[in-house]
Amino acid sequence: MGETFRSVNSQLVGGRVSAIYHPYKELKHTWRSSDRGTTFKVSDYVRGSPEDVVESLAWFLICRARRKECPKGLSSRYLSHVRSPEFWEDHRSVYVKRARTLSFQPKGIAHDLAAAFEYVNSYYFNNSVPAPALAWARESPSRRMGFYHQPLGILAVNRALDSEQVPRYVLEFVVYHEMLHGVTEPVDGLNRRVFHTKEFRAREHGFARYDEAQKWLCRIVNSSKGNTRTTSIVPQA
């Protein structure tokens, strides 16, 4: 991998680069630049991928690190590879093993994720969405209220919503938001994919108790921070 990164880098700007694999929980890559060059830490989910995928990833990452626009044709091989269900099927067991914050028991203390999913699927999606693996996620509500890992078929909701004090429709709203990610197309922005597009937001407003649910989510995020900020917070992808 290091050789591939050096070769791509020399075609771009030169300078020194190195790349090593790292067992991140999620598929993510980081880099650090100094006088001595740039070191990339590449998710080890990519290890064993075909050489043209690694080369495409090198273009994708080095362009990002150098703040250069990456020619679309050069990064697309990597992007389509890691967005495919086949790629994730191969890494499913590792992902689940590393996802220690996830509990795949849908029945929580106060709420049942499976019941929320079934209701939302029936009411808003005409039962058209295949049931994903449902999980409660133990993480800071200010980070995200839920996420939908589409290629893996995992829909997770923040454990902070599993409380008698939180109305069921708040949980249903987060489930609805995450399910919408499965039926709306993201668009490629300048530097990143935009998931919460105009179309997405319009459909999100179709939730019956949208305003009340949003207020609840703000309250939960604010109380988890221990202050009274009123920034509008929405669940993240």
Q: CB of 173: closest distance to Zn ion in angstroms?
A: 12
3-class state of residue 213 by DSSP: helix
Half-sphere exposure of 89 (CA within 13 A, CB side): 3
Binding mask 178-217 for Zn ion (x = CB under 5 A): ----------------------------------------
Round to whole Å and give the CA distance between 224 and 237: 20
Q: CB of 146: closest distance to Zn ion in angstroms?
A: 8
Round to whole Å and give the CA distance between 168 and 162: 9
Task: Considering the complex, state which of residue 110 and residue 194 has its C-beta at the smaller distance from Zn ion.
Answer: 194
Reference 196, options 230, 160, 159, 147; nearest CA is 147
Q: CB of 174: closest distance to Zn ion in angstroms?
A: 9
Q: Are 68 and 8 in contact (CB under 8 A)?
A: no
Alpha helices of the chain — where are they, by DSSP H? 2-12, 51-65, 72-82, 85-98, 113-125, 168-183, 198-204, 210-225
Residues with Cβ within 8 Å of residue 59, at least 6 apart in sequence = 8, 70, 71, 74, 75, 78
3-class state of residue 18 by DSSP: strand
Task: Considering the complex, state which of residue 129 and residue 237 has its C-beta at the smaller distance from Zn ion.
Answer: 237
Read off the amino acid at residue 205. Answer: H
Q: CB of 176: closest distance to Zn ion in angstroms?
A: 11
Structure tokens at 145: 């209220």
Round to whole Å and give the CA distance between 168 and 188: 34
Stretch that binds Zn ion, among 42-50, 125-133, 183-191, 229-237 (CB under 5 A): 229-237
Q: CB of 177: closest distance to Zn ion in angstroms?
A: 6
Residue nearest Zn ion by beta-carbon distance: 237
Q: CB of 192: closest distance to Zn ion in angstroms?
A: 13
Q: CB of 181: closest distance to Zn ion in angstroms?
A: 6
- Size of the residue set binding Zn ion (CB under 5 A): 1
Task: Considering the complex, state which of residue 162 and residue 204 has its C-beta at the smaller distance from Zn ion.
Answer: 204
Task: Considering the complex, state which of residue 27 and residue 237 has its C-beta at the smaller distance from Zn ion.
Answer: 237
Task: Considering the complex, state which of residue 79 and residue 237 has its C-beta at the smaller distance from Zn ion.
Answer: 237
- Which of the residues 71 through 100 are near Zn ion (CB under 5 A)? none
Q: Per CB under 5 A, does 237 bind Zn ion?
A: yes
Task: Considering the complex, state which of residue 40 and residue 136 has its C-beta at the smaller distance from Zn ion.
Answer: 136
Task: Considering the complex, state which of residue 106 and residue 146 has its C-beta at the smaller distance from Zn ion.
Answer: 146
Instruction: Using CB under 5 A, list all residues that contact Zn ion.
Output: 237
